[in-house]
């Protein structure tokens, strides 16, 4: 882990002394926390930007967290559509604890993200019963069923160009530009994703520019061109500011 300002020390324990499994676990951890990313180009770029420079100074060392699978990223993004972050977090935790596999480690229970098969088997009504809107339940179940049956393979999007991946995601029912952009950022690791339709992003940029009305998705997208081709990083640092109550 790069030691810019802080560090994370991780110890991997294996009862079977399985080196291959330990290496796989290490690569998964590095991917999830984004420690395999190199932000040096973004840092150099941000030094001349009045918005990004103070954010990098405040949060230097922050990487772009990644989902372990594209499926997890897609389902998580659908869950987060048009609801608050706190409600989205609650629903994500709920689906993980209800349908994910549980593992006890040192007396503490950890859950893995549900497999497509587990969600496909429970059906739409089960999801509705557990606080999901019917429309979201249908989207989640449909994608899970297709992934479980082999009709689609979301992992293949990792090998696609940004245009190809975007076209693939948009073809799924319930997936629009906002969901697609978050997938490009948080699952596929593209450096220039930007969720211009995000209401929180529109609000914070409107406040920074002191506009009389909230900026539209198109206006925010146009403004973001100043950060290309590092908009995924810019988005990550702006949302770090939001989480910590820091104004731009």
CATH of domain 40-59+189-248: 1.10.1670.40
The per-residue pLDDT for 3 is: 47
Give the pLDDT of residue 14.
Answer: 73
pLDDT for the residue 2? 46
Per-residue pLDDT for the chain (248 aa), expressed as one digit of tens each? 444 556 778 888 777 778 888 889 999 999 999 999 999 999 999 999 999 999 999 999 999 999 999 999 999 999 999 999 899 999 999 999 999 999 998 899 999 999 999 999 999 999 999 999 999 999 999 999 999 999 999 999 999 999 999 999 999 999 999 999 999 999 999 999 999 999 999 999 999 988 878 899 999 999 999 999 999 999 999 999 999 999 88
Q: Which residues sit opposite 111 in a β-bridge?
A: 102
The CATH code for residues 70-186 is 1.10.340.30
Nearest to 2 by CA among 28, 29, 48, 38: 38
| Whole-number Å distance between alpha carbons of 117 and 114 | 8
Domain ranges within the chain, ordered by starting residue: 40-59+189-248, 70-186
pLDDT of 210 reads 81
């Amino acid at each position: 882990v790069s030691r810019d300002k802080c560090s994370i020390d991780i110890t991997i324990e294996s009862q079977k002394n399985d080196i291959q499994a330990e290496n796989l676990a290490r690569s998964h951890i590095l991917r999830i926390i984004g420690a395999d990313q190199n932000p040096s180009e973004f840092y150099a770029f941000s030094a001349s930007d009045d918005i990004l420079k103070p954010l990098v100074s405040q949060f230097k060392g922050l990487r772009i967290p990644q989902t372990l699978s594209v499926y997890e990223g897609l389902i998580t993004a659908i869950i987060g559509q048009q609801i608050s972050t706190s409600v989205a977090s609650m629903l994500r935790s709920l689906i993980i604890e209800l349908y994910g596999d549980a593992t006890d480690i040192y007396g503490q229970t950890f859950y893995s993200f549900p497999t497509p098969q587990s969600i496909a088997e429970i059906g739409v009504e089960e999801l509705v019963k557990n606080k999901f809107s019917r429309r979201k339940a249908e989207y989640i179940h449909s994608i899970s069923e297709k992934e479980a049956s082999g009709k689609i393979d979301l992992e293949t999007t990792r090998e696609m160009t940004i245009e190809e991946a975007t076209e693939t995601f948009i073809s799924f029912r319930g997936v629009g530009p906002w969901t697609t952009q978050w997938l490009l950022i948080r699952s596929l690791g593209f450096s220039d994703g930007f969720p211009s339709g995000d209401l929180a992003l529109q609000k914070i940029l409107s406040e920074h520019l002191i506009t009389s009305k909230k900026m539209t998705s198109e206006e925010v997208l146009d403004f973001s061109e100043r950060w290309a081709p590092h908009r995924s990083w810019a988005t990550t640092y702006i949302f770090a500011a939001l989480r910590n109550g820091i104004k731009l």
